[in-house]
């Protein structure tokens, strides 16, 4: 059975657990870094990236999550989780995990559009995907190895770099589990590759 952990320091982790289970994998709440050894893939949820970073430092997760990803295990960052994965934030080089070659802008859709829902076409994953944005970031620039999977208003909102996936919105808040299911299949593939 494929086991996916959801980083549960802060933010919307319970809904992710449900979404992973609905996609046919086992889901576990991750609160200690030692638990990373027991999972095949990791989801970093939405919340507040600066708060989450503080807790990542407090609980000693920074290097263990980097090592997890560098060992080829998939990581999916959603909303604040996307910010944590990015190599560059708001034009500065002070990244958090800095695992993905992309530059992101926080709270990028502005005050008037703090929260909204829209239907997105996500390349190779889903058409008419129901996406919920909450004080969302977008991706301003991606590196050569990072593939753009969806845009909204000409801004990149889903990107994948090998075994790393990031989206601007909250894929766990609706019954549309197709993006989570895509991550589950990335984890299943990497599990097969890592085992061989
Ligand atoms: N605005 C938040 C941040 O900068 C992200 C919002 C979210 O995860 N819903 O961290």
The reported pTM is 0.97
Specify the DSSP element, H or E, that contains 121: strand 115-122
Phi then psi dihedrals of residue 115, to 5 deg = -135, 135
Residues linked to residue 103 through DSSP beta bridges, in sequence order: 88, 141
Mean pLDDT of 141-156: 96
- 79 given a catalytic annotation: yes
User: Mind listing the domains of the chain with CATH numbers?
Assistant: 3-195 (3.40.50.880)
Neighbours of 47 (CB within 10 A): 21
Q: Give 5-53 pLDDT, tens digit per residue.
A: 999 999 889 999 999 999 999 999 999 999 999 999 999 999 999 999 9
Q: Give, for ligand 1, the residue of 9, 137, 157, 173 to mutate: max count of ligand atoms closer than 8 Å to Cβ.
A: 137
- Which residue of the set 96, 172, 177, 182 is catalytic? 172
Q: Are 121 and 150 in contact (CB under 8 A)?
A: yes
**Dihedral, CA atoms, 10, 140, 173, 1, nearest 10 degrees?**
-80
Residues linked to residue 5 through DSSP beta bridges, in sequence order: 28, 42
Mean pLDDT of 119-123: 98
Neighbours of 57 (CB within 10 A): 11
């Amino acid at each position: 059975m494929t086991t996916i952990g959801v980083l549960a320091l802060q933010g919307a982790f319970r809904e992710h657990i449900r979404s992973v289970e609905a996609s046919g994998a086992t889901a576990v709440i991750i609160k200690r870094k030692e638990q990373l050894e027991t999972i095949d893939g990791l989801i970093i949820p939405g919340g507040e990236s600066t708060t989450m970073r503080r807790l990542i430092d407090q609980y000693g997760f920074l290097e263990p999550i980097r090592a997890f990803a560098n060992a080829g295990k998939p990581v999916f960052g959603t909303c604040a989780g996307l910010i944590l994965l990015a190599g560059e934030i708001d034009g500065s080089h002070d990244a958090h995990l800095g695992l993905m070659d992309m530059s992101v802008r926080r709270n990028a859709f502005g005050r008037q559009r703090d929260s909204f829902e829209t239907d997105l076409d996500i390349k190779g994953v889903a058409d008419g995907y129901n996406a919920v944005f909450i004080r969302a970031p977008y991706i301003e620039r991606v590196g050569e190895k990072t593939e753009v999977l969806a845009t909204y208003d000409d801004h990149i909102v889903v990107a994948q770099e090998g075994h790393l996936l990031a989206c601007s919105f909250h894929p766990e808040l609706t019954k549309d589990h197709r993006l989570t299911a895509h991550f589950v299949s990335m984890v299943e593939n990497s599990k097969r590759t890592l085992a061989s």
